[in-house]
Amino acid sequence: MATRPLLIGTLAAALAATAATAAPATGAAAPARPAAAADASPVGYASMNGGTTGGASGATVTAANADQLDSYATSSTPYTIRITGTIAVSGMQKVASDKTIIGVGSSGRITGGGLNVSEARNVIIRNLTFTGASDDAINVQYSTNVWIDHNDLSGGNDGLTDVKRGSDFVTVSWNHYHDHDKTALLGHSDGNAGEDLGHLRVTYVHNWFDGTGQRHPRVRFANPVHVLNNYYNDIGSYGVASTENAGVFVERNYFENVERPTSLQEGSSDEGNIKALNNHLVDSGTPAIRNPGSVAAIPYSYTPESSATVKGTVMAGAGVGRI
């Protein structure tokens, strides 16, 4: 099938579109395109396995406080849940299947806690600001077909977007991460191979890792993970880490002032594998690679942007208020 551009779409289409499983990519670079609008539906893994449409089949409702958010988010009924102001949540708010939780304009904000997508399928989290989470800002576990898109995430106690415990078919796109250390974990433990092998397939595309410390992402077991067209600047420790024999394809990203764009071993974890292609390096170290032939082929169609233009595209398009 034909490749689908990464940079087009509207909010209305995002709430109604059904994404189809795509064919393998050619990997050919495409000309830069404007980033004025968001994708209509997820690219990458969340487009597979039947696609990710969230609550598009149900009613659109508005949550004005934590009680309303809890009622809609935990319901077995599909909902598109609009958030128009600040909601302070206590701990991790459970999110059930077939939900879209989306901020309106630039006003939707979650503080004090985070969203827990656990044992769920078909969830979209878009256009929200997360600050001051007591645990993770967004946690995904035992879940499939999740799209995390156009959020602003900072200042949590643990991770900002952590994906773990056998979760699969996830796309993390157009998010702005800042003022934080442990950013995006993929696979929570060296001892969890039984659940994680063959799963944890995630696409990270057009995210802005802005002065954050580490885990952009930090990967265990998964193969292949696709890290495509992201902008990294002033990273404290490392960019992308592959451990526990994971396979990560680091493709056409823009690294600026990043001493270690990639890492093959962190903590007590065994080494992983990295394939790196056409990344743009400014005042940055050389990406570490290992066994690139062991990184599996990307199983979906995509049109990558030239790495030289990624900085401008991501800075113009990532975060809230862009859809």
SS3 labels along 161-227: EEEECCCEEEEEECCEEECCCECCEECCCCCCHHHHCCCCCEEEECCEEECCCECCCEEECCCCEEE
Q: Pull the structure tokens for residue 312.
A: 């401008």
Q: Tell me if 279 sits within 8 A of 253, measured CB to CB.
A: yes
Phi, psi of 93 (to 5 degrees): -80, 120
**10 Å Cβ neighbour count for 198?**
12
Q: Pull the structure tokens for residue 34.
A: 């404007």
SS3 category, 227: strand
195 Cα distance to chain centroid:
20
SS3 category, 247: strand
Residue among 215, 218, 260, 322 flagged as catalytic:
215
Q: Tell me if 11 sits within 8 A of 36, measured CB to CB.
A: no
ω into residue 217 within 30 of 0, thus cis?
Answer: yes
Q: Measured between alpha carbons, how far is residue 174 from residues 204, 267, 269, 293 in Å?
A: 9, 28, 29, 29
Return d(Cα 270, Cα 240) in angstroms, integer: 15
Annotated active-site residue 201? The verdict is: no
Q: Which residues are catalytic?
A: 215
